[in-house]
Structures are given as structure tokens and as C-alpha cells.
Structure 1
């Protein structure tokens, strides 16, 4: 039960980490890697932005490795929480929102529609400044309102 709580706490805390990293790293000194995700300047299926999957996977892999070498300890479950968040990010961001794999296009789910609205607002800005909605799974309340 304790390990489940560690995984859950890490998964939830990754939202704050994602917001911080997205706002201050991806829209900061590593904008050179993130820019093509906003201006769509890359030809082909991959973007420089995809390097972030590798960058963020490395600490999770290291934690899972060192947490499993001499029996399973809390480091493994921290890495597992990060990995599960990364998987959720891939499925929601890359498949559902950006349709990099044409699947799950139509949804009437209120949360998913709000998530798309918030992400669209984030991508409205083509440069690194003046952005909003830097989180991933947390959607501000105003994006749940529709113009119906």
C-alpha cells in the first residue's frame, strides 16, 4: 500500500513539475528544442521537441534501475510514478490532442474538450513569451465553459 501511495503522489506531483519545466525550461533556455512544436517547422513525423521524451525518461529509468538492484525500494516506485505520468502525457498530448496517431479523434467528454481548449490556447502563442496553460492534466475552470 505504501508503494502505491508513492506512485500516486509522484504521479500527482508531476503536474506541478511539468508546469514548471514547461514554462521555465521548455519556454526558456531549451526553447530551441520546443519551438518546432509551436511553429510546426519540422518536416516529417518527429520534432526536436521529441527529445524531451528521452530527457525525461532518463531519470525515471535510473530511479527504476537503482530502486530494483538490491530488492525493490522506494526509488523504483518514484521512477514508476514518473513513467506512468509520461505514458499518460504521450497518450493524451500526442495521440488525443495533437493526433500524431489518428485515434480517439471525437469525444464529447467535458474534461477532454476543456483540455483541448486549454492546449489550443497555449499553442495560440507561436513564440516562447506570453504563454498560458503550461500544465498538462490540470485544466483551469474557464476552459470548461462553452459558447453554447
Structure 2
């Protein structure tokens, strides 16, 4: 029962992450998240506060389920939330954004798809007009590109060469 609860939580967190990313981070929480859609100037960005914010419920459930005599299922749920956070950190911060140096080159169709979907999400610099809000599951890149085109590419970042010419 406990391990099933753990797995269900890890899987369910993708839906929760989608909702939070789509309607909170790209909504009222944009004041923190916009730092993630801009070039990073150091090791940290305001968006990193979301990791601490989302860790609090996991910590509380683990503490309650293990030490405070709450229903033991809370420990499994808290562990599932923590596991999703670790998976997310590995995929998002290490593999996609390369915040830790590595030599990993994605070869599987799955990894190429989620990385490309996330890059298409970041092609839009504004709060609105972005595509692909999940992370461990993503629509096909062709569908995301078509959606960006359908929206007239509003908010899409200019290619690096074009930005350099405009700045000159």
C-alpha cells in the first residue's frame, strides 16, 4: 500500500506541476518565474524559490508521517513529492538547463522530446503565449511549433543573431 501511494504521488505530481506552472508561475507567481525566462547572470534566480516553497509540504508530510504519529500514508506521499522534486531537478536543472556541468547527450526519443518541448516553452519570453507546461510528459514538438505559429509567434524570442544586430 505504501509503495503504491508513493508511485501514485510521483505520477500525480506531474499534473500538479502542470497546473502550478501554467496558472500560478505564468499567472500571479510570474514575479518570481520571469527570472527563469531571462538569461541567468549568476548561479541563482528568483525562480529557485519555488523549489523551497514546494519542498515545505513534502517536509511537513514526512515529519508528520514518520515522527508525529500522523497517518503513515503521509510519509509515503511526502516521499513521493520529494522524489518528483529530485527527478525534476535532474531533468530540468541538470540535463535541460545545464546548471551542473555534464557530458550527457540525450539519445532516446523520450529525452529528446521533453528537452525540445521545454526549449520551445522557453522560446517565449513573456508571461503569456507559452506552450508545454508539464515536464516529464510533453506534447510532440511539431504540435508545439504549430501552436506557436498559430498564435503568430507572439512573445517568441528573436534568434541570437537577430538580437545582436538589433542591439548594434
Please tell me whether residue 102 in structure 1 is matched to residue 101 in structure 2.
Answer: yes
Q: CA deviation at 1:107?
A: 2.0
2:164 corresponds in structure 1 to none
Change (3 A) 1:144 1:101: farther
Q: How many residues get paired?
A: 142
Instruction: Compute the TM-score of the two structures, normalised by the length of structure 2.
Output: 0.80
Q: Which string of whole-angstrom CA distances, capped at 9 and with x for unpartnered residues, describes residues 51-85 of structure 1? A: 00100000100000001123870001100000000
What is the distance in 2 between the residues matched to 1:18 and 1:103?
26
Between 1 and 2, higher relative CO (CA 8 Å, sep ≥ 6) is seen in 1
Please tell me whether residue 78 in structure 1 is matched to residue 77 in structure 2.
Answer: yes
Contact 2:64 2:70 in 1 (8 A): no
Matches within 5 A, 1:39-78: 39-40=38-39, 42-69=40-67, 70=69, 73-78=72-77
Please tell me whether residue 124 in structure 1 is matched to residue 150 in structure 2.
Answer: no
Give the ranges of 4+ consecutive aligned residues of structure 1 lying more than 6 Å apart after TM superposition: none
Contact 1:99 1:105 in 2 (8 A): no
Where 1:29 maps in the other structure, the secondary structure is: coil
1:5 corresponds in structure 2 to 4
Q: Which string of whole-angstrom CA distances, capped at 9 and with x for unpartnered residues, describes residues 98-133 of structure 1? A: 000011431211111111110011001101101110
| Larger radius of gyration between Structure 1 and Structure 2 | 2
